[in-house]
Amino acid sequence: MSILNFLRGSKTASFTAQAIADHLKGEVEGNPDIIVSSPARIEYSKADSLCFLANPKYEKYLYTTKAAVVLINKDFELKAPVSCTLVRVDNAYEGIASVLELFEASKSSNRRGREPFSFISSKSKYGKNCYIGAFAYIDKGARLGKNVKVYPHVYIGENVTVGDHTVLFSGVKIYADCVIGAGCILHAGSVIGADGFGFAFGADGRYKKIPQTGNVIIEDNVEIGANSTVDRATMGSTIIHSGTKLDNMVQIAHNAEIGQDTVIAAQTGIAGSTKIGQRCRIAGQVGIIGHLEIGNEVNVGAKTGITNNVDDGKSMLGFPAMEASKYRRSFAVFRNLPELRNEVEALKKIVAKREENL
């Protein structure tokens, strides 16, 4: 029986080392029939735990762990005997991510049906095996695919589309006309489709609101972190392309476009009409002004402020942002400014004294 079939028939995630190895195309060293029922950090493991070792800093725990099974890389060489069963895989970090998905799926795989006190418009539709939690609200014209999970207190607005196997955790709000793809995860408190921050400064010295008439399109397999916001477009669509992952408390403004498989860490803000390329990695507390074009495979360090376009493959740091290599050289000078100032002051005194002697 495959690990996926086992999981479908089980109320809790509990499977053998051999099943894990088969799922990950790995190799077992030790007892293939030993059972694990929970993941754990290698330094805090229990007798039924599944752990992994990818960072050499934690190698010492491999020889003392109480875990039943530990995932390690195929090329890892043991320096001492171990008491646990090992599953050797090509990439332990990627492997544990795959297994954790199964543990996570087991928590909600049996949630189906409609709970009391939920509201579903008679003019909306949802597919087979959906779960609609208490106090969820689904407005008219909404279309939900199969196996969609809608947790309590979710709001799904008029004419919203939600693809198959998408999970909307408690408190998610999706405004009218937005499109959410298949296999997406929207965490608690995320807001999709609120008005973009658009105001025109009038001759009377007041700001007049510009109606935001567009929508948000989120493609397949996108994850949106807790309390993150993606604003609807003024006209057209704000677009998050497939495979992109947003951390908690990320702000995506109106008419922005985020490329495929890009990851954005917490507290980053991207202003309106900026386009981010594919496979970019943007660290925490980054600010990117509006109407820019950021290329593919760009890396942006934490707290960087980007005010100009960035070409493909660049790594950026600082504010205003500059290429990382140039920033590091500049910072090496900047952090020594107090010493350099003292040296200059000392030289000025020497010069002044010599001028007096002359």
C-alpha span between 8 and 77 (Å, rounded): 36
**Distance spanning both ends of the chain, measured CA to CA:** 96
Q: In sequence order, which residues have a C-beta less than 8 Å from that of residue 310 and are 6 or more positions away?
A: 292, 293, 294, 295, 298, 316, 321
- Check whether the bond before 116 is cis (ω within 30° of 0): no
Whether the CB-CB separation of 252 and 235 falls below 8 Å is answered with no
* Rounded alpha-carbon distances, angstroms, from residue 300 to 136, 238, 283, 306, 314: 38, 22, 6, 9, 8
C-alpha span between 225 and 14 (Å, rounded): 28
Element (H, E) at 108: helix 92-108
Select which of 153, 165, 254, 291 is catalytic: 254
Q: Tokens 């604003």 belong to which residue? A: 231
Element (H, E) at 100: helix 92-108
**Secondary structure in 3-state letters for 228-285:** CEECCCCCCEEEECCCCEECCCCEECCCCEECCCCEECCCCEECCCCEECCCCEECCC
Locate 71 and state its tokens: 């995932």
Active site residue 241: no
C-alpha span between 52 and 40 (Å, rounded): 8
Active site residues: 254
